[in-house]
Chains A and B, each alone.
Chain A
Amino acid sequence: DAKTTQPTSMDCAEGRAANLPCNHSTISGNEYVYWYRQIHSQGPQYIIHGLKNNETNEMASLIITEDRKSSTLILPHATLRDTAVYYCIVKYSNKLVFGAGTILRVKS
Protein backbone atom coordinates (compact mmCIF):
# COMPACT_ATOMS: atom_id res chain seq x y z
CA ASP A 1 0.00 0.00 0.00
CA ALA A 2 1.27 3.43 -0.91
CA LYS A 3 1.19 5.81 2.04
CA THR A 4 2.33 9.37 2.39
CA THR A 5 4.36 11.33 4.92
CA GLN A 6 3.93 15.08 5.32
CA PRO A 7 5.20 17.62 7.86
CA THR A 8 2.65 18.39 10.55
CA SER A 9 2.70 22.14 9.98
CA MET A 10 4.40 24.92 8.00
CA ASP A 11 4.38 28.71 7.99
CA CYS A 12 4.63 30.92 4.93
CA ALA A 13 4.76 34.69 4.48
CA GLU A 14 1.97 36.23 2.47
CA GLY A 15 2.99 36.79 -1.15
CA ARG A 16 5.78 34.24 -1.01
CA ALA A 17 5.75 30.78 -2.55
CA ALA A 18 4.59 27.96 -0.29
CA ASN A 19 6.35 24.67 -0.93
CA LEU A 20 4.67 21.67 0.68
CA PRO A 21 6.64 18.40 0.57
CA CYS A 22 5.30 14.86 0.54
CA ASN A 23 7.06 11.51 0.67
CA HIS A 24 5.46 8.47 -0.97
CA SER A 25 8.34 6.02 -1.23
CA THR A 26 6.14 2.93 -1.78
CA ILE A 27 4.13 4.37 -4.65
CA SER A 28 3.39 1.98 -7.52
CA GLY A 29 4.11 2.77 -11.13
CA ASN A 30 0.52 3.48 -12.12
CA GLU A 31 -0.60 5.37 -8.99
CA TYR A 32 -1.36 9.05 -9.17
CA VAL A 33 -0.46 11.62 -6.52
CA TYR A 34 -3.40 13.84 -5.53
CA TRP A 35 -3.46 17.04 -3.51
CA TYR A 36 -6.51 18.38 -1.69
CA ARG A 37 -6.94 21.10 0.88
CA GLN A 38 -9.47 21.72 3.64
CA ILE A 39 -10.23 25.20 4.88
CA HIS A 40 -11.67 25.33 8.39
CA SER A 41 -14.25 22.56 8.61
CA GLN A 42 -15.41 22.78 5.01
CA GLY A 43 -15.38 19.84 2.63
CA PRO A 44 -11.95 19.19 1.08
CA GLN A 45 -11.20 20.90 -2.22
CA TYR A 46 -9.28 19.31 -5.08
CA ILE A 47 -6.08 21.13 -6.06
CA ILE A 48 -4.10 19.06 -8.56
CA HIS A 49 -2.91 15.56 -9.39
CA GLY A 50 -0.12 13.97 -11.41
CA LEU A 51 1.55 10.72 -12.40
CA LYS A 52 5.09 11.35 -13.60
CA ASN A 53 5.39 14.76 -15.20
CA ASN A 54 5.16 18.08 -13.45
CA GLU A 55 1.70 19.60 -13.56
CA THR A 56 0.42 23.18 -13.30
CA ASN A 57 -3.03 24.66 -13.10
CA GLU A 58 -4.54 27.95 -11.98
CA MET A 59 -4.16 27.05 -8.30
CA ALA A 60 -0.78 25.38 -7.99
CA SER A 61 2.13 23.44 -9.45
CA LEU A 62 3.03 19.85 -8.66
CA ILE A 63 6.63 18.71 -8.93
CA ILE A 64 7.20 14.94 -8.83
CA THR A 65 10.73 13.57 -8.52
CA GLU A 66 12.03 11.32 -11.26
CA ASP A 67 11.93 8.23 -9.01
CA ARG A 68 8.36 9.27 -7.96
CA LYS A 69 9.15 8.74 -4.30
CA SER A 70 8.36 12.32 -3.35
CA SER A 71 6.56 15.39 -4.60
CA THR A 72 6.15 19.07 -3.79
CA LEU A 73 3.04 21.20 -4.08
CA ILE A 74 3.84 24.82 -4.86
CA LEU A 75 1.45 27.70 -4.24
CA PRO A 76 3.30 30.45 -6.14
CA HIS A 77 1.98 33.50 -4.28
CA ALA A 78 0.37 32.44 -1.02
CA THR A 79 -2.45 34.55 0.40
CA LEU A 80 -4.13 34.51 3.80
CA ARG A 81 -6.99 32.57 2.20
CA ASP A 82 -4.57 29.69 1.47
CA THR A 83 -4.35 28.92 5.20
CA ALA A 84 -5.67 25.36 5.35
CA VAL A 85 -4.79 21.70 5.86
CA TYR A 86 -3.17 20.26 2.74
CA TYR A 87 -3.46 16.55 2.03
CA CYS A 88 -1.11 14.58 -0.19
CA ILE A 89 -2.78 11.33 -1.22
CA VAL A 90 -1.88 8.24 -3.17
CA LYS A 91 -4.62 5.78 -3.93
CA TYR A 92 -4.54 2.65 -1.78
CA SER A 93 -6.44 -0.37 -3.07
CA ASN A 94 -8.26 1.88 -5.52
CA LYS A 95 -9.42 4.25 -2.79
CA LEU A 96 -8.31 7.75 -1.85
CA VAL A 97 -6.98 7.45 1.70
CA PHE A 98 -6.40 10.75 3.51
CA GLY A 99 -3.61 11.13 6.06
CA ALA A 100 -3.34 13.86 8.70
CA GLY A 101 -2.04 16.43 6.19
CA THR A 102 0.05 19.58 6.65
CA ILE A 103 -1.38 22.64 8.37
CA LEU A 104 -0.21 25.62 6.29
CA ARG A 105 -0.40 28.98 8.04
CA VAL A 106 0.04 31.99 5.77
CA LYS A 107 1.05 35.04 7.80
CA SER A 108 0.98 38.72 6.90
Chain B
Amino acid sequence: NAGVTQTPKFQVLKTGQSMTLQCAQDMNHNSMYWYRQDPGMGLRLIYYSASEGTTDKGEVPNGYNVSRLNKREFSLRLESAAPSQTSVYFCASSVTFEGELFFGEGSRLTVL
Protein backbone atom coordinates (compact mmCIF):
# COMPACT_ATOMS: atom_id res chain seq x y z
CA ASN B 1 0.00 0.00 0.00
CA ALA B 2 1.24 3.46 -0.89
CA GLY B 3 -0.77 5.20 1.86
CA VAL B 4 -1.25 8.89 1.06
CA THR B 5 0.31 10.07 -2.18
CA GLN B 6 0.75 13.75 -3.08
CA THR B 7 1.69 15.22 -6.43
CA PRO B 8 3.68 17.19 -7.33
CA LYS B 9 6.38 17.05 -4.64
CA PHE B 10 7.90 20.36 -5.73
CA GLN B 11 6.48 23.28 -7.69
CA VAL B 12 7.54 26.83 -8.48
CA LEU B 13 4.88 29.28 -9.59
CA LYS B 14 4.78 32.91 -10.57
CA THR B 15 2.38 35.27 -8.81
CA GLY B 16 -1.07 34.97 -10.36
CA GLN B 17 -0.62 31.51 -11.81
CA SER B 18 -2.97 28.71 -10.86
CA MET B 19 -2.28 25.11 -9.99
CA THR B 20 -3.83 22.06 -8.37
CA LEU B 21 -2.24 19.82 -5.77
CA GLN B 22 -3.42 16.24 -6.00
CA CYS B 23 -3.85 13.81 -3.12
CA ALA B 24 -4.89 10.18 -3.23
CA GLN B 25 -5.18 7.55 -0.50
CA ASP B 26 -5.53 3.80 -0.93
CA MET B 27 -6.62 2.95 2.61
CA ASN B 28 -10.39 3.33 2.04
CA HIS B 29 -10.47 6.22 4.50
CA ASN B 30 -13.56 8.38 4.80
CA SER B 31 -11.99 11.68 5.86
CA MET B 32 -9.32 13.73 4.11
CA TYR B 33 -7.53 16.98 4.97
CA TRP B 34 -5.22 19.65 3.58
CA TYR B 35 -2.74 21.42 5.87
CA ARG B 36 -0.03 23.97 5.20
CA GLN B 37 3.18 24.41 7.16
CA ASP B 38 5.24 27.58 7.04
CA PRO B 39 8.89 27.55 8.18
CA GLY B 40 9.28 27.03 11.92
CA MET B 41 5.55 26.73 12.51
CA GLY B 42 3.03 24.03 13.16
CA LEU B 43 0.51 22.81 10.63
CA ARG B 44 -2.60 24.86 9.88
CA LEU B 45 -5.74 23.28 8.50
CA ILE B 46 -6.89 24.69 5.15
CA TYR B 47 -9.88 22.50 4.25
CA TYR B 48 -11.16 19.10 5.16
CA SER B 49 -13.65 16.55 3.91
CA ALA B 50 -15.27 14.53 6.68
CA SER B 51 -16.78 12.14 4.16
CA GLU B 52 -17.18 11.75 0.41
CA GLY B 53 -19.36 14.54 -0.96
CA THR B 54 -18.66 17.04 1.84
CA THR B 55 -16.03 19.72 2.32
CA ASP B 56 -15.56 22.33 5.05
CA LYS B 57 -13.26 25.24 5.76
CA GLY B 58 -10.44 24.98 8.24
CA GLU B 59 -8.37 27.74 9.87
CA VAL B 60 -6.91 29.32 6.73
CA PRO B 61 -9.15 28.67 3.68
CA ASN B 62 -8.78 32.01 1.89
CA GLY B 63 -7.19 31.72 -1.54
CA TYR B 64 -7.89 28.00 -1.86
CA ASN B 65 -10.57 25.70 -3.21
CA VAL B 66 -10.93 21.96 -2.79
CA SER B 67 -12.67 19.09 -4.53
CA ARG B 68 -13.42 15.67 -3.07
CA LEU B 69 -13.41 13.93 -6.42
CA ASN B 70 -14.28 10.52 -4.99
CA LYS B 71 -13.51 8.59 -1.83
CA ARG B 72 -9.82 8.25 -2.77
CA GLU B 73 -8.97 11.71 -4.05
CA PHE B 74 -8.99 15.20 -2.54
CA SER B 75 -7.47 18.06 -4.54
CA LEU B 76 -6.42 21.56 -3.48
CA ARG B 77 -6.51 24.40 -6.01
CA LEU B 78 -4.81 27.76 -5.93
CA GLU B 79 -6.65 29.99 -8.43
CA SER B 80 -4.26 32.95 -8.32
CA ALA B 81 -1.09 32.13 -6.41
CA ALA B 82 0.46 34.73 -4.09
CA PRO B 83 3.91 34.77 -2.43
CA SER B 84 2.15 34.32 0.94
CA GLN B 85 1.11 30.87 -0.24
CA THR B 86 4.71 29.70 -0.37
CA SER B 87 4.63 26.77 2.01
CA VAL B 88 4.76 23.02 2.40
CA TYR B 89 1.36 21.44 1.87
CA PHE B 90 0.41 18.18 3.55
CA CYS B 91 -2.53 15.98 2.71
CA ALA B 92 -3.84 13.56 5.32
CA SER B 93 -6.58 10.97 5.66
CA SER B 94 -8.31 9.09 8.47
CA VAL B 95 -10.77 6.24 8.74
CA THR B 96 -13.24 8.43 10.54
CA PHE B 97 -13.26 12.07 11.51
CA GLU B 98 -12.19 11.07 15.02
CA GLY B 99 -9.41 8.78 13.98
CA GLU B 100 -5.65 8.79 13.58
CA LEU B 101 -4.39 10.92 10.69
CA PHE B 102 -2.06 9.45 8.08
CA PHE B 103 -0.01 12.09 6.28
CA GLY B 104 1.58 12.27 2.87
CA GLU B 105 5.19 13.36 2.36
CA GLY B 106 4.28 16.93 1.48
CA SER B 107 4.31 19.20 -1.56
CA ARG B 108 6.75 22.10 -1.48
CA LEU B 109 5.36 25.15 -3.26
CA THR B 110 7.25 28.35 -3.97
CA VAL B 111 5.45 31.39 -5.37
CA LEU B 112 7.71 34.04 -6.83
Contact = CB atoms under 8 A, between A and B. Distances in A.
Interface string B18-51: 0000000000000001010000111111001000
Nearest to A48: B100
Contacts of A46: 100-102
Contacts of A49: 100
A44 interface: yes
Interface residues of A, number: 18
Contacts of B64: none
Contacts of B58: 95
Interface in A86-108: 87, 94-101
B88 interface: yes
Contact of B45 (A42, A97, A100): A97
A94 B101 contact: no
Contacts of B45: 95-97
Given A43-B92, A44-B90, A94-B97, A99 B103 contact: no
Contact of A41 (B48, B88, B100): B88
Nearest to A89: B42
A13 to B, nearest CB: 26
A46 B44 CA distance: 16
A53 interface: no
The 9 A-B pairs at the shortest CB distance, nearest first, are namely A43-B103, A98-B42, A98-B43, A46-B100, A100-B42, A99-B42, A44-B103, A43-B90, A43-B104
Interface of B: 4, 33, 35, 40-45, 48, 58-59, 88, 90, 92, 97-98, 100-106
